[in-house]
Structure 1
Amino acid sequence: MHHTSQAGIHIVLFGELLMRLSPPANELPLQSPRFNVHFGGAEANVAASLAILGHRSVMVSALPDNMLGRTCEGELRKHGVDTGGIRYAEGRMGVYYLAPGAMHRPSEVLYDRADSVFARTPAGAYDWPRLLDGAQWLHLSGINLALGEITANAALAAVHAARDAGMSISFDCNYRSRLWGERASQAPALLREIVSEADLLFGNDRDVALILGTACAQADAGDRFRAAADAAFAAWPRLRRIAATERLHRNVDDQDLFGLMATREHVLITVTHRLDHVVDRIGGGDAFAAGLLHGLFRGMPDQAMLDFAITAACLKHSIPGDVNLLREADMLAFLAQGSFEVKR
């Protein structure tokens, strides 16, 4: 792959940009009259991390033409993301409220994103041949499919345009039952339509079971993932890799995390990392996706790529906000010194 030089890869990401409001420290929402503001979104988090890691990362989305939309774009530009693919229109910004958990009180997310500018922007508003021009890769998530028929059609248009252009596609299932709501019955067919075009799938055995209508009943997480990967590779001839994280909760602040990846040749699993005193777990999966894509673009061997990705996910838990702000050297330093306490 000649384009995976140190110069990085040109990747386009498509999805909604959100404003996140969360109370300070471990307060309940509005316990005091304050919110901390962060900007994010599944694809935006991946876009920012890949830009920080040295890739040409282009965000395609739609924002309100007001101070919220412009500030959000500025945050992405600050991280080096190319925001030339963002459209502006009248309307509202998608918002979500995060009540971070503590000890045995779980975190809770409240979405306020119905009828946002992104949710109302039709597929035809995006000039995909121009937006994808010169790019080698497209990344998007199932959240586009969950938000409604308009964004689902836009995501499908992006995927078909990328396919026509001979690009590679990665897709993160990112299944959120609260977002699908009463459209949940449409999820398997819509997800299947995009997964069948993907080269790389971020999803676990539950995602594969949902899409294929089968269940993996093995007791061991690795065995379940292996069975799901076999089913996925049999169902989707284009698919080259499937990757996921598995999380074990001791309580909200203390968790264990490991990564899994299957290729058509083998299944790899990382060591399990202890995460004590989690600062912010939002965006951990996006950090993992960005880490794996970076490893793939840099031509790392499979195990090194997966280890890099889980390191990125683990380190994200130490950073407030949605985005993993760390550079490649930070991840490699942690890998080199093995400084996580590894569970044996």
Structure 2
Amino acid sequence: MTAVDLVALGEVMLRLDPGEGRVRTARSFSVWEGGGEYNVSRALRRCFGLRTAIVTALADNEVGRLVEDLMLAGGVDTSHVTWLPYDGIGREVRNGLNFVERGFGVRAPLGVSDRGNTAIAQLRPSDVDWDALFGGGVRWLHTGGILAGLSDTTPDLIEAAIDAAHRHGATVSYDLNYRASLWHGRGGRERAQEVNRRLLSGVDVLFGVPTEAPVSAATFAGHVDDLVKEFPRLRVVATTLRRVHSTNVHDWGAIVWRDGEIAESRMREGLAVLDRIGGGDGFASGLIYGLLTGLDLSLAVEYGVAHGALAMTTPGDTSMATLAEVAALATTAVADVSR
């Protein structure tokens, strides 16, 4: 495998979007690919111009091949996709579907996922040649709590990837991304926290620490101190700050700790939002870009916040922003007309 900047490990689903309407009354859908871990990899490729790959699994049928086609359009290396035989009706293995309403005003966004018994939920650590993957020169592994919640065996998959990343000197990032639906009937939040604690011992960069906006730098630093005592490998802890006024109006920012240094973005108040799904992944990819390319931490945070904001102005999970747009928004407070 050619050296890459980042490999994402996670599920890639087909998102079905009824546009301005409701899932329950829709007669047509737009389709996109998406997944918490994958979205970061795609954005780093399409927006930021880095080399990225995805490790995932799909059932080998027409839906799986549609997801592959969408990933190829995103420019992500798909050579490490594991294809599982399809049994004709999905009794044994399936591809994940995600029906998502963007919401509007007082109507909140709504996601209805159909992802039980999907291909990656059945992937085992031995199904991937981790040393061949990371031995090719991978700089960064990104994964997270969505994959960890898919089945009782996916934490083993993540652990194997983290161990291999460490052997080959790659940085490991993990987005907590708690989803109640994934843990329903499986121990809920307490079980999710137990699994995350097991995996965080190998994590260098942590996203998604629950934090309410506004938060002071001192309060955040105290929270991070507790985390680092429990997980001393951590070098970066980052979280977005969001206050929701309505589905389409948010206050939006972020705060990041790195080895004792705190950087907090400007708070973008009254941000207009078309589709909030993927905003956090947009932040993560922008920050990772800044860290990989050696930007000053304060500027890296602004890149993350700007990219997340731009990702929320377009439909679908994945970013349609350009690096020039991100750089301009990161260093200015107002978007002006481009002529």
TM exceeding 0.5: yes
Q: 1:116 aligns with which of 90, 93, 118?
A: 118
Q: What is the aligned-residue RMSD (CA, Å)?
A: 2.0
Note the C-alpha offset of 1:325: 2.1
Q: 2:13 aligns with which of 18, 25, 29?
A: 18
Q: 1:105 aligns with which of 107, 118, 136?
A: 107
2:32 matches 1:38: yes
2:221 matches 1:226: yes
2:171 is aligned to 168
1:198 is aligned to 203
Q: Deviations over 1:274-333 (max 9, x none)?
A: 354411111001110100000001100110000110000111111111111222211112
Superposed, which structure 2 residues align to 1:47-86 within 5 Å?
A: 47-52=41-46, 53-86=48-81
Q: 1:43 to 1:68 in 2, by over 3 A?
A: same
Q: 1:273 to 1:156 in 2, by over 3 A?
A: same
Q: Which moved more, 1:220-229 or 1:101-110?
A: 220-229
How many pairs does the alignment contain?
Answer: 323
Contact conserved, 1:197 with 1:238, CA < 8 A, in 2?
yes
2:282 matches 1:287: yes
Q: 1:71 to 1:124 in 2, by over 3 A?
A: same
2:130 and 2:68 map into 1 onto residues whose CA distance is: 20
Q: 1:277 to 1:333 in 2, by over 3 A?
A: closer
2:303 is aligned to 308
Q: 1:340 to 1:260 in 2, by over 3 A?
A: farther
1:263 is aligned to 258
2:118 and 2:224 map into 1 onto residues whose CA distance is: 36
Letter in 2 for 1:291: G
Contact conserved, 1:205 with 1:228, CA < 8 A, in 2?
no
Contact conserved, 1:140 with 1:172, CA < 8 A, in 2?
yes
3-state SS of 2:177 partner? coil
Q: Deviations over 1:132-156 (max 9, x none)?
A: 2221211101111111112221111
Note the C-alpha offset of 1:221: 5.7
**TM-score of the superposed pair, with normalisation by structure 1:** 0.89
Note the C-alpha offset of 1:229: 1.1
Q: Identity across aligned pairs (percent)?
A: 30
Note the C-alpha offset of 1:169: 0.5
Q: Which moved more, 1:99-108 or 1:293-302?
A: 99-108
Note the C-alpha offset of 1:107: 1.2
Contact conserved, 1:274 with 1:340, CA < 8 A, in 2?
no
1:283 and 1:103 map into 2 onto residues whose CA distance is: 19
3-state SS of 1:182 partner? coil
The gaps in structure 2 that reach 5 residues or longer are 87-92
Q: 1:247 to 1:340 in 2, by over 3 A?
A: farther
2:148 is aligned to 145
Letter in 2 for 1:259: A
The gaps in structure 1 that reach 5 residues or longer are 1-7, 207-215
Note the C-alpha offset of 1:60: 0.4
Contact conserved, 2:19 with 2:101, CA < 8 A, in 1?
no
Note the C-alpha offset of 1:127: 1.4
Q: 1:181 to 1:252 in 2, by over 3 A?
A: same
